[in-house]
Amino acid sequence: MPFTKVMIHFIWSTKNRQPIITKELKPFLLNHIKDNSIKKSIFIDCQNCVEDHIHLLISLGTEQTISKIAMLIKGESSFWVNRQNIVKNKFEWQDEYIAISVSESAIQKVRDYITNQEVHHKKKTFAQEYDEFLKIHGLAIS
């Protein structure tokens, strides 16, 4: 039996970064993502969202890939939100995402960062955060 611990910090936005994750939607969305992920054997260590994006810290299983995890969570959760008629317009996630590996020594820092999104985004927009993540992790497009 293989023993693995591969932690990935996922970030993705709503379609066109629309601020459609309301305070009413947020707890339902996060609970649904967590419950659905358990059913699919996806381990979410930490998650949080604000009105236009979500952060998840996920431990990849031995048979899981980053793209498959993103597809399963994004596709199913947007389908679920639309079926619930919780939002007025169609709920969609942006196609792109960021997925960054997290070392054991940085896990708590990432958890704290995800947990404190509301405070963090009082100082910085998602666009600023996104561009910063790309640059810090060497993913910036020249």
The CATH number that applies at residue 19 is: 3.30.70.1290
Q: What domain range is 115 assigned to?
A: 6-136
Overall residue count recorded for the chain in this entry = 142
Q: Is residue 36 part of a domain?
A: yes
Q: How is residue 50 written in tokens?
A: 């604000």
Q: How is residue 24 written in tokens?
A: 């009413």
Q: Specify the number of domains making up the chain.
A: 1
The per-residue pLDDT for 142 is: 54
Q: Residue ranges of the chain with pLDDT lower than 50? A: none
Q: Is residue 87 part of a domain?
A: yes
How crowded is the C-beta side of 11, counted as CA atoms within 13 Å?
20
Q: Is residue 107 part of a domain?
A: yes
Q: Is residue 121 part of a domain?
A: yes
Q: Is residue 142 part of a domain?
A: no
Q: CB of 77 within 8 A of CB of 36?
A: yes
The per-residue pLDDT for 141 is: 66
Q: Is residue 1 part of a domain?
A: no
Residue 97 class from Cβ within 10 Å (0-12 exposed, 13-18 middle, 19+ buried)?
A: buried
The per-residue pLDDT for 99 is: 95
